[in-house]
Amino acid sequence: MQQGFEEVRLVRSRQELVVPVGIYARLHKEGLNDYEGRPALFIDRDGVLIEEVGYISRREDVSFIPGAIAAIRTFNEANIPVIVVTNQAGIGKGYLGWESFEEVQEEITAVLRSSNAYLDAVIACPYHKDGIGIYRLDNHPFRKPNPGMIIFAAERLGIVLERSWMVGDMLSDIEAAASAGLCGAVHVETGYGKEHRKGVKTFQKDSFEIVFEKNLFEIASMLIGRMAGSQWSRS
């Protein structure tokens, strides 16, 4: 059962969390006012932006992957929205709560802000087949490799999917990007990347490009060039 897909919404007028059905969706006020018609960069969080430590729940455990902050700032300067789409099975399984997730997100936001960088939006899905309570649900449409989080963000913000890219460390990130109709995806070696590289190399889908790189920083300039190559008409 697809619980509450249409009920979940991003609030543009103020920074507010609206999670009537358990999906975390936040639009950051530092972001652009108008996303309509723009391509976006979708990224996984753990293993792409911050180090993978396993169900992170404390701000003091936040450690950015080298070069990630500079990469985010580069996309900000190019007016390309950066949207985090992250599975959070730890919440679904009861290992941590949304308060802990928020604490980690606040630290990420603060560190980025101190470097003149920001995330435009963060979407998180806690549903899992081994979840507890309402979060016990197999194959939720928002949980990667399903494309729900990407499609949700695109529909609410007006993002053009066919010009957008995904950066992830797991096969499920790449599969979600392909299912959502993105132009392509970058598989990085950080996080679980080295473990998933073989599986990603065997994944194929027509008209979907997969690029392999070490980390987010190494691919930033190329991605900006690709997305700017079919640049939107708005400034």
Across the range 188-210, mean pLDDT stands at 95
Residue 46 falls in the annotated catalytic set: yes
Q: Encode pLDDT of 103-140 as tens digits.
A: 999 999 999 999 999 999 999 999 999 999 999 999 99
Tokens representing 106? 């606040």
Name 12's Cβ contacts closer than 8 Å, sequence gap at least 6.
27
User: HEC string of 201-218?
Assistant: HCCCCCCCEEEEECCHHH
Annotated catalytic residue, options 34, 44, 120, 206: 44
Q: How far apart are CA 180 and CA 164, in angstroms?
A: 10
Give the pTM: 0.88
Residue boundaries of the structural domains of the chain? 24-229
Annotated catalytic residue, options 34, 46, 120, 206: 46
Q: Is the pLDDT confidence value at 157 over 50?
A: yes
Q: Encode pLDDT of 38-74 as tens digits.
A: 999 999 999 999 999 999 999 999 999 999 999 999 9
* Superfamily, domain 24-229: HAD superfamily/HAD-like (3.40.50.1000)
Query: In degrees rounded to 5, what are phi and psi of residue 29?
Result: -65, -15
Beta-strand relationship, 24-27 and 121-125: antiparallel
Beta-strand relationship, 41-43 and 165-168: parallel
Cα four-point dihedral sign 214, 84, 144, 49:
positive
Q: Encode pLDDT of 6-43 as tens digits.
A: 333 343 333 343 443 789 988 876 655 678 899 999 99
